């Protein structure tokens, strides 16, 4: 199993550009999450999904959108990039049973200039 | 508002020292407390704790949860330079009857000097 994969690893955007961060998992997990991590801060939840077709906002959803058309994929969309979105983005998945353990992807480092 | 507070935020020790990292929390609908180790990339899972007073152990690392006082500690004995990392504490909650989200602390940055 590849686990949780994310692409790209790095990206530089100009203000106002848009892009999609890709996330896929091959563990058949129902639950998937997007976090951002700023320097010196913990992980903050952007959006999450409890299954295909179901998404919900986390703590910091503004400026982002998600979709969950399949169990495997959970892309994160930035429509109008802003410098405040410069961060490291992690995707995670979990089985969605009594176990809260989340498995993380390698992260995408995004810089908005 | 749910919150998870870790202390200290950073710590520098020498190889062979023993360290204790702290995590306190205030959340509604507590389900579990998890510890992760983050080196250069993604957090990797260390422990999940759900019951008070039961120590989880893995090699030189151990952790225990106190649900009455709402905190957990992570101990690392005989530290090595490879233990240098950010240690994240997260609390899992119940959310509408099904599994909920993790609320993360800011992490403790541990540096182990040779």
Of the candidates A42, A48, A103, the beta carbon closest to that of B104 is on A42
Q: How does A42-69 read in b/e, with b if 16+ C-beta sit within 10 Å?
A: bbbbbbbbbebeebeebebbeebebbbe
Q: Residue range B81-100: average pLDDT?
A: 79
Q: What is the CATH number of domain B3-109?
A: 2.60.40.10
Q: Output DSSP code: residue A73.
A: B
Closest CA to A89 of A63, A107, A67, A77: A107
**Which pLDDT belongs to residue B98?**
42
Question: In order of start, what are the domains of chain A with their CATH numbers?
Answer: 4-112 (2.60.40.10)
Mutate to test the interface with B, among A38, A43, A48, A109 (most CBs of B within 10 A): A43
Q: Do the Cβ atoms of B104 and A44 come within 8 Å?
A: yes
pLDDT of residue A42: 85
Q: In what order do the strands lie in the sheet containing B71-76? A: B3-7, B19-26, B71-76, B61-66, B56-58
Average pLDDT over residues A59-63: 92
pLDDT of residue B38: 94
pLDDT per position as a tens digit, B12-45: 999 999 999 999 999 888 888 999 999 988 899 9
Q: Where are the domains of chain B?
A: 3-109
- How far apart are the C-alpha atoms of B66 and A112, rounded to whole Å? 42
Query: In whole numbers, what is the pLDDT of chain B averaged over residues?
Result: 91
- pLDDT confidence of A59, banded at 50, 70, 90? confident
Give the number of other Cβ atoms within 10 Å of residue B101's Cβ. 22
For residue B4, name the pLDDT band (cuts at 50, 70, 90): very high
Share of chain A residues as helix, strand and coil, in percent rounded to the nearest 5? 5, 50, 45
């Amino acid at each position: 199993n590849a686990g949780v994969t994310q692409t790209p690893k790095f990206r530089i955007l100009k203000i106002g550009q848009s892009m999609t961060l890709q996330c896929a998992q091959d563990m058949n997990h129902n639950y998937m999450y997007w976090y951002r991590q700023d320097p010196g801060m913990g992980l903050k939840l952007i959006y999450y999904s409890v299954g295909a077709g179901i998404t919900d906002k986390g703590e910091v959803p503004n400026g982002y959108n998600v979709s969950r058309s399949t169990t495997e994929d959970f892309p994160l969309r930035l429509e109008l990039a802003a410098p405040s979105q410069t961060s490291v983005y992690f995707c995670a998945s979990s089985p969605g049973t009594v176990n809260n353990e989340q498995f993380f992807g390698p992260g995408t480092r995004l810089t908005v200039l | 508002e749910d919150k998870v507070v870790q202390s200290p935020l950073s710590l520098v020790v020498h190889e062979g020292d023993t360290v204790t990292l702290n995590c306190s929390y205030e959340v509604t609908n507590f389900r579990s407390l998890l510890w992760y180790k983050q080196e250069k990339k993604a957090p990797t899972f260390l422990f999940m704790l759900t019951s008070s007073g039961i120590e989880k152990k893995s090699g030189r690392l151990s952790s225990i949860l106190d649900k009455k006082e709402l905190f957990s500690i992570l101990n690392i004995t005989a530290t090595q330079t490879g233990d240098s990392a950010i240690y994240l504490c997260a609390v899992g909650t119940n959310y509408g009857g099904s599994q909920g989200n993790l609320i993360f602390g800011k992490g403790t940055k541990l540096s182990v000097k040779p």
